[in-house]
Amino acid sequence: MHEDLFPYYENELTYLRRFAGEFAKRYPAAASALQVEADRCLDPHVELLLQGSALLSGRIRRKLDDEFPELAESMLSLLYPHLLDPIPAVGILQFRVSRENSNLNSLYHVPAGTALASKQTASMDCMFRTCYPVDLVPLVVESSHIEMCRGHGVTEKMGLGRAQACLSLGLEVIGVPPKEIPLTSLRVHLHGAPMSYRLYEILGETVVGVEVEYECDKGGHKKILGPDCIQPVGFGPDEGLLPCPPRSFFGYRLLQEYFAFPQKFLFYDIIFGDDGEIPVNCRRMVLNFYLRTMPEHARDIAAEQFVLGCTPIINLFEKWCEPFKTDPAKREYRIIPESAGGHAYEVYSVDEVEATNLDTGASRSFEPFYSFRHALDSETSTYWYTRREPGLDGAFETYLNLCTLGYA
């Protein structure tokens, strides 16, 4: 039930009681049977009529007030339609390499947009899709520590004389690879607020160089990388969390995603180059991040805050709605997704509307009413637009309106 309907009902009921009382005083011969006073009604049947009329009048007034933002919504639907859509459930998902089945001898690629189903809720699967591609590697972060390194001869020889601190991450190789595994980059998710935001700043602003150590059965070797090997993730056009139409400014999508789910940006890619690899019989890798300054709260940095194999996920997927027959006397139709089971699904957006003639089987597509694709020379063309309002259980219901250019 709409929480804002009750004030409208109270105002209408107060007005009806006051108006009926004044009317009865002015015309006692015609309305004395109403028995209405300023704060109560003596006749219970008249009171029921007044309450019913107040409920209907209050609902009409509320509907009129709701229609005031229609102009602004119409403009937004043309310029920035994604700003009118609700924010679905989002989260961070981690893919893990099993230690029991550690026969991963090459990268396993999980493309962006991969569909995933959670555990059943109310006998229904909750569908998610991934937003970033994931390359599964047989690595796991086992340790981390930070120490001062100012004045060390080692940093001078590596050309990292500006470094004053070194943050080291120990990566255990799950299973001993019998052959080289190409590893051109490694994506790391920074987990655990509030330190994750501080780590994001540390890795993005204070790193002067990165040293990669490979510990193998037969010795090992090291590799030096520049500070530009650390690249932020989530700012590319193909790394979006929420859909964004081409006509909308790309920067607005970044702002919307940041305020809706800032954890989406807590990722870094460590670029090893085209010759990057996990060597044969490698058991451990160490990433040494040389920092310009010793960060505050360095003791709070833990290995659990660096997570591999992660991607943002969103509860958003395509689905057809239940078909319905059009009625010339009916203005709008509620959109119910197939097998929705009541309010199990909530409509995010309507992408396509198609009508089928039951007699001939011919089908045709309708264009959105608020769009730039109108056939202006055809007054009989049919268009559609949607309206969203809160349902009785709090979830939003979406209604489809069909109209022509001559009548809407």
Interval 32-76: pLDDT, tens: 666 665 566 677 777 788 788 888 888 888 777 766 666 777 778
Number of domains in the chain: 3
Read off the pLDDT of each residue in 149-178 and give the average, rounded to a whole number.
Answer: 74
In a domain, 292, yes or no: yes
Q: How far apart are the C-alpha atoms of 170 and 192, rounded to whole Å?
A: 19
If pLDDT is split at 50, 70 and 90, which confidence band does 77 have?
confident
The pLDDT value given to residue 104: 66
For tokens 């957006």, the residue is 349
Beta strands in 163-206 (DSSP E): 165-173, 181-182, 185-190
Distance between CA atoms of 378 and 107, rounded to whole angstroms? 55
Residue 114 lies in a domain: no
Q: Do 163 and 208 sit in the same domain of this protein?
A: yes
**296 shares a domain with 167:** yes
Residues 6+ apart with CB under 8 A from 233: 132, 187, 239, 265, 267, 268, 269
For residue 123, tell me if it sits in a domain. no
Tokens of 92: 């961070």
Asked whether residue 372 falls in the same domain as residue 252, the answer is: no
Please name every residue paired with 207 in a beta bridge, in sequence order, or none if there are none. Answer: 291
Structural domain that includes position 33: 5-68
Please tell me the predicted confidence (pLDDT) of residue 36.
Answer: 60
- Give 239-258 pLDDT, tens digit per residue: 999 988 887 888 889 999 99
- Residue 393 pLDDT class (50, 70, 90 cuts): low
pLDDT digits (tens, 9 = 90+) for 322-371: 888 888 878 788 898 886 555 678 899 898 999 988 888 888 888 888 77
Q: Does 195 lie in the same domain as 172?
A: yes
**pTM: predicted TM-score of the whole model, two decimal places:** 0.78
Secondary structure letter of residue 323 according to DSSP: P
With beta carbons less than 8 A apart as the criterion, state whether 322 and 337 touch.
Answer: yes
pLDDT at 340: 55
- Helix, strand, coil abundance in the chain, percent, nearest 5: 25, 30, 45
The answer as to whether 93 is a domain residue is no
Query: Is the residue at 86 inside a domain?
Result: no
Strand 181-182, strand 277-278: pairing: antiparallel
307 and 178 in a common domain: yes
Percentage with pLDDT > 70 across the chain? 84
Give a yes or no: residue 254 inside a domain: yes
Least confident of 97-111, 134-148, 195-209: 97-111
Q: Residue 116 is inside which H or E element, if any?
A: strand 115-117
Packed helices 44-66 and 5-26: angle between N→C axes, nearest 10 degrees: 130
Residue 261 has pLDDT above 70, yes or no: yes
- Sequence letter at residue 241: L
Question: Does 98 reside within a domain?
Answer: no
Q: What is the pLDDT of residues 219-246, one digit of tens each?
A: 778 888 989 999 999 999 999 999 888 8
Residue 156 has a pLDDT of: 58
CA distance 282 to 220: 8
Long-range residue pairs from 144-149, CB within 8 A, at least 24 positions apart, any chain: 144/168, 144/169, 144/170, 144/301, 144/302, 144/303, 144/305, 144/306, 146/294, 146/295, 146/298, 146/301, 148/294, 149/290
